[in-house]
Structure 1
Amino acid sequence: MTTPRPFAPLSTRLSPSRLPVRGRPAASAPDAEGLRTELSLAREEIRALRAERDTLAKKVALLLGGQLEQAPHERLVARIHELESAAADLRSQADAERQRADKATDCATALGTIALKVFSELVVIVV
């Protein structure tokens, strides 16, 4: 007998001897032992199907849970990298502005010194 598909209709998975009573020919009457066997087999199949369902549900939950946990984590890591890059750019700009300000201060000091010399020479010339 070939392996039945797990979600095929029950009548296609059962051998003719396991068909429900209404599917059997009228000539054969079910006996109590046969019905007990059928019930036992059906219960085993139900247990196996429930176990398979539970296993699959756990796998899906773990897979989805992992995806849900990873998505925010990955976004946060990406955002941290963006912020670190922006902070590095701002530090670089601040250093450049400090250097520019230092240069402007040096130029102002030099101009002040030159102006003082020119003024003192003018005073000497005028006096």
Structure 2
Amino acid sequence: MASTSPPPPGNDSAVPPPDARRAVEALWQALSRDAAQAPPPTERDIRRLARAFGLHGDHCVVGLIAEDKGQLIRESAHVLTCLMRIWAARDLSAGAVWTELDRRTQVGELLVMLNNTQRRRAGRPAGRSLDRPWKIQSTKLP
């Protein structure tokens, strides 16, 4: 699948990319301000947001499969924008989402730490250790 879009900016560009935190916070502030000033969204508005989110998510996957970095970058930005519009429409706090992501990261790091303890002591048979019933069998984040 050929793309006529311009290539994404490389790492060698003279202008450094914006800080991700500032970019996301600025986007969230603008979207939440617009949502606060607008009338409450109708179900039709919510369906449109959901449809746009799904459409841009699909295009993101197409860009990934086609190895089209430009499309992947553009559609990823659309996905994030649509997702934040959905949050704003449902009066969700972006902070609550970031807190949940942080919680999952901390739990994942704890699971990795627990899994990286001494595997076997000398003279003990391989297999499930009886002195560690808390041993986590998965490294997937909850």
- Output the TM-score relative to the length of structure 2: 0.25
- Which structure has more relative contact order (CA 8 Å, sep 6+)? It is 2
From the two aligned structures, give the one with the greater helix fraction.
1
- Output the TM-score relative to the length of structure 1: 0.27
Give the number of the structure whose alpha-carbon radius of gyration is greater: 1
